[in-house]
Each structure stands twice: as C-alpha cells, then as structure tokens.
Structure 1
Amino acid sequence: MTLSIDPSPSSFVAVSSPIPLTRSSQVAHADRDIAGGRLVRVRRGIVAPASLWAALAPWQRYAARVHAAAMTHPGIVFSHESAAAILGLPTFGEPLEVHALDTPGTTSRLSGGIRLHTTRGDRAVVDVGGLLVTSPLDTAVDIARSRNGAVGLAVSDAALRGDPLLSVEALVAHNEYRISSRGRRVARWVLHRASALAETPLESVSRAAIEWLGFEEPRLQVEFVTAGMVDRCDMWWETARVIGEADGDVKYDGTLQAPVTAIRKEKDRDRRLGHHSSGIAHWGWADVARLTPLRGALRHAGLRPVNPEASRDLFALSALLGGRGRQGRETATPPRD
C-alpha cells in the first residue's frame, strides 16, 4: 500500500469492537465450539462468543466484522461504511461487505469478503486508534457518491458534527476536485444540504424524506422561550408556523428515563411550544420508513407540499428502511439514535 497517511490528529476516536474477538488458532477446540454453538465465526480465523454475537444489533455486528478484518489484515485501510463504522458515523443495517482501499492503480474487486476499491491517491488516510481509515471528509464524499441520498446525508451531517474544522464548503469542493467523476453529480444533492445542526441520523433521514415528499426545507434547531423556559425544536417551518420533532426510539424505551416520564415531559413541552406554533408534528423511524404516517403527521400539523413528490427516491428510501419494497440484509435496520 503506497497511500500517504495524514499526520494531523483526528477529532474522531475509534469505535471499539462491541464484543471480544479471538483468533481461532488461540482456541483449543474452535471448530468443536463453533459446531456446538458456543462460538461464532466472525470471519475466517476470528471467532467470538455466540451468545454475545446474538445480542448485537445489525450495525454492531458489522463493526465487529470490520475489527475482525483489521486483525487478519494488518495495515488495511478501511473506506466507505467500514470507515464510517470505525469513525462512529452512522451505519445502516449490516452491510454485506467490508470496504477497503487497494494500492493506487489496481482494479476494484472482492477478495475474502473485503471489497477493495481502486483509488487515484486523492483520498486522505488517517490513523484512528491504530486503525487506518479514509478521513471523515473522504468517507462522507465516498458514501454520498455511492449510496442512497438519505444515507449520504446522515453520514455527512454526522461528519460535520464530529469535526468542527470540517465545513459544507470543504465537502462540496472535495467532491468537485476528485479525479474520478463517478458519482459526482449524485453527491451534489447530499453535500449541498449537509448540516451539523441535524443532531441524529433520524433527523438527517427525515430531512431527505420531507424534501422528497414535496415539503419546504425547514430551519433546524430553533429555540423558543416560554415563561423563562427554553425549548429547542428539531425543525421549524416559519411560514406555516409548524414545528417538527423527530423522536428516536431511545426516547421512549427506558434507556434514558421511564417511558411515562418521557411522555409527560413531551406533553409539557408541546404545551409550551404550542404558544409559538399552529401545529406540532412528531414522528419516528417507523413513520419515515412507511412514509404515509410521516406525510400525514406533517399535513395534520398544517404543512402543505410545495413541490411534487419524488416517487423514485421515496420508494428507494422506504425499501432501505424496511418500510416496503425489497429489503436486503444490507439495509434492514436504521442506526439507533
């Protein structure tokens, strides 16, 4: 590998493997334990406890597979979703392949479950916790060029949140100046809309869905003051005086607080925000996946479309999130907020 490594420190911290990984050569009876269901083969030569593996979410299994590839291929340079998994950027579902860069000038190919991508040497490589990955900027551009626009937007938004030195202008310029033009036009839609103000993957994906449904682009993270209390909403349509709230499942699953407490706080907050708005729309992952509930929530709050719906983009997004259409392993589950 002749790619150069950027010596400047990264603002990102490497995401560790979610479960312990062990080389099968270090286990006395690895094949027997795999056959007996005590171990699972993460990739050839790497095993993990089957009970821990079964408890992982899809994106966590993918992160474990990426770390397993790092163990079997020292010096590998991860890219695309694999770089995103190490950098802590959103990963949707459990991608089928680990992605890495090959020596400049070679041909892209699949080898041992690793998708090797050709490069012209115009990507920056950073060392994050001893692992080599494409920079957050390059990772965002790679995904914007090659994946669904909603996924690209979620990754780009997260990259901007994670690196205060990264800007929309830098993302746009890097896409234009890349030697290869493949995916350049597709990425423009994503990169021109990227914003660090979108605080979660659900907000980012919702922004894409809302535009494709024909609604006006909202302002993000607007604050309202009521009787000395400050409430910040996810989205605000000033002309229609409509507030939008993208509520991730973690808000109600008891992880942060009791569900009853979360619901009570939301009602109190909605009453305060009601002094400033004519309607408030709430939605979650399932509503975005099915689209009809999201459309209905926005209309019920008083928002009206200003453009025709982008049917092809909406169908692709719904299939991606498992709402309808064909659903593959790669896109079966959205990232958790």
Structure 2
Amino acid sequence: MRAVFCLESAAALLGMPIFGDPIDVHVLVPAGRASRLISGVRTHRSSEDRTIVATGGVAMTGPEDTAVDLARLRHPAIGLASADAAMRHPAESTAERLLLINEARVSGRGRDIARWPLARARPESETAIESVSRAVIEWLGFPAPELQVAGQKDRADFVWKLARLGGEADGDLKYDGRFGDAREVLRRQTLRDRRLRTHLRAVVHWGWTDATTVTPLRDILTGSGLRPIAPEQTAQLHSLRRLLASHAPHVVGGPSPTRGR
C-alpha cells in the first residue's frame, strides 16, 4: 500500500496553511495496523473512508477530510483556518458538508471539538490570519463582523456596520518586500483607507502578533469604539496565545497570491 499523507502533511501538499514547523510526517494506515512514530513518520489508523486525491503520484487526504482531521485534533483556531482553506479550494465545499463528514466518521474522537470551527467555515476568510482573527474576535466577546464588504472600489476584511468600523488583518508579510517596495505598499494602503472612510467611520489594522497575543487586538477594537456583547472565553484565548503567538502560518511554496484590492 502506498503512503497516504494526512493532517499537516496533507495540508502542506494541498497548499493549505500550516502553523510553525511540524517535525513529523503524518501518514494514514489501515485500521488493522498500529499507530506509531518511527523515525519522524507518525502513522494514524483509519477505520473509515476518506477521499484520497493524488498529485504527481503522491496520495493525500482531500481538502475536506484534511480540514475535518485538523479540526478534530488541533486547536479550534487552527481548525477554523483549515476549514476556511478547504472552502476556498477548487472543490468549493460548504460548512454543512464539512459538518456532515465530521458526524459520519466512525470514530468519535474529537467530533465535538470539531463542530465549532467547521460550523463557522467561510470562504470569505481569505488568509489564515483572517481566520484566526475571527476566532479571537468571537472569544473576546465582540459582535461578529461581516466579511469582505465591498465599497465602490475597495473591500475590507471585516466590517461592523452598526459601528461603521472596518478592520484589516494585514499580517507582516505585506511589508517585507515580497509584494513590492514596502513604502509603495503603505502608500496604496493609505489611499485605500481614505476611500473606505467615505462610508466607514474608521479603519483599523492589526497583524499576527496583535491577534494571537490577544490584548493588542482587544485594545485596537475597543479603542475604535467597538464594545463586547458577550463574556470573554479565557480558556480558548489563553491556549491560543500559548500555541500560536510565535508560530505564524505559512503555505509551502510561499504566500498566497495577493488579491485585487
């Protein structure tokens, strides 16, 4: 039987985001074989069918099954980023389909954990930082924003219409030179924000560290007049900060292409 890559290994091959630098290669094996770790290869028993895809002779779990696996076994913020990525894949999945795959699995391990990220999967979250920011915003108790709201020429990642507030999850890579001269990128952003403010009261920006260390993003939003409507979920925020603050997401082969904005 040829190797079938799964979890982060499949995500890397599919161009889905991965976090940090996973040290193990994850491979599926039939249910009759044991799960084990040998020389950096971690095998996982599978007792149910998964969709297997192949590229260049390399087999891996498909985007939907990869997202469900990660949602079951990883932090909910990672699960949400993976589910959003599966929604953006050419297969064009839906949150309902991801939930059905999760419920149909024979194994109940992680089923309940996976329901939260899978139910919130949205193709409009175009990057991992947007997905993680959505999780942090909800766990901080803020109202849910609308996503990718378009103006006459531009669109904002997040918009709270009642507060007339726009939000942009920029990350750091926009200014590191890979998308052109940082000064020119900043100049275009300034002009774009000015256009957005013709129908928004304010536009705020944050990066990966702001979102994953939590307090900066909270301060950015409250400082712009947004108010929580629910209690903070401190356990989720604490685990996210500990796990992700120093592990920015990346896609094997480089960043995703910039979108027209």
C-alpha distance in structure 2 between counterparts of 1:281 and 1:150, whole Å: 22
1:240-286 CA-partner distances (Å, limit 9, x unpaired): 11111001222111211211111111111111111211222200011
CA distance in 2, matches of 1:126, 1:254: 35
1:111 matched to 2:26? The reply is no
Q: What secondary structure sits across from 1:140 in the alignment? A: helix
Tell me, in whole angstroms, the C-alpha distance in 1 between the residues paired with 2:136 and 2:197: 25
User: Which residue is equivalent to 1:181?
Assistant: 108
- How far is the alpha carbon of 1:193 from its aligned partner? 0.3
Q: TM-score, normalised by structure 1?
A: 0.72
1:126 counterpart residue number: 53
Q: SS at the partner of 1:108?
A: coil
TM, length-normalised to structure 2: 0.92
Structure 1 SS opposite 2:118: helix
Matches within 5 A, 1:187-266: 187-225=114-152, 230-266=153-189
Q: Name which one, 1 or 2, has greater alpha-carbon Rg.
A: 1
Distance in 1 separating the partners of 2:75 and 2:229:
23
Q: After TM superposition, give the deviation of residue 215 of structure 1 in Å.
A: 0.8
User: Hey, what's the Cα distance between the residues in 2 that align with 1:279 and 1:301?
Assistant: 7
Instruction: Show the counterpart of 1:78.
Output: 5
Which 5+ residue runs of structure 2 have no aligned equivalent?
256-261
2:233 aligns with 310
Q: Looking at both structures, which has the greater relative contact order when contacts are Cα pairs under 8 Å and sequence separation is at least 6?
A: 2
Alpha-carbon separation, structure 2, partners of 1:295 and 1:258: 30
Give the C-alpha shift of residue 209 in structure 1: 0.9
User: Which of 200, 204, 208 is equivalent to 1:285?
Assistant: 208
Q: Does residue 1:322 correspond to 2:249, yes or no?
A: no
Report if the CA contact (8 A) 2:208-2:248 is conserved: no
Structure 1 residues 157-166 or 91-100, which shifts more?
Answer: 157-166
The match for 2:15 is 88
2:29 maps to 1:99: no
Q: Answer yes or no: is the 8 Å Cα contact 2:159–2:166 preserved in 1.
A: yes
Counterpart-to-counterpart distance in 2, 1:296 and 1:165: 35
2:74 is the counterpart of 1:147: yes
CA-atom RMSD, angstroms?
Answer: 1.4
Q: In 1, are the aligned partners of 2:31 and 2:47 still within 8 Å (CA)?
A: yes
Q: Distance in 1 between matches of 2:91 and 2:54?
A: 18
Matched, 1:169 2:92: no
For 1:165 and 1:260, how far apart are their aligned partners in 2? 36
- What residue in structure 2 maps to residue 274 of structure 1? 197
Work out whether residues 208 and 245 of structure 2, in 8 Å CA contact, stay in contact via their aligned partners in 1. Answer: no
Measure how far apart 1:92 and its partner are. Answer: 0.4
% identity of equivalent residues: 49
Residues 15-34 of structure 1 aligned to structure 2 (within 5 Å): none
Out of 60, 63, 87, the position equivalent to 1:160 is 87
Indicate conservation of the 8 Å contact 1:92/1:334, yes or no: yes
Which digits, 9 at most, give the CA deviation of each residue in 1:280-322, with x for residues without a partner?
2200011112211111111122211111111111111111223
Query: 1:163-197, CA deviations, whole angstroms, 9 ceiling, x for partnerless residues?
Result: 24322111011001111111011000000000111
Q: Per the alignment, in what secondary structure is the counterpart of residue 276 of structure 1?
A: coil
1:299 equivalent among 190, 206, 222: 222
Letter in 1 for 2:129: L
Aligned length: 252
Residue identity matched to 2:236: D
Moved more, 99-108 or 88-97: 99-108
d(CA) in 1 for partners of 2:92, 2:166:
30
Letter of the aligned partner of 2:29 in structure 1?
Answer: D
Name structure 1 gaps, 5 residues minimum: 2-74, 324-331
CA contact (8 A) 1:252 1:259 kept: yes
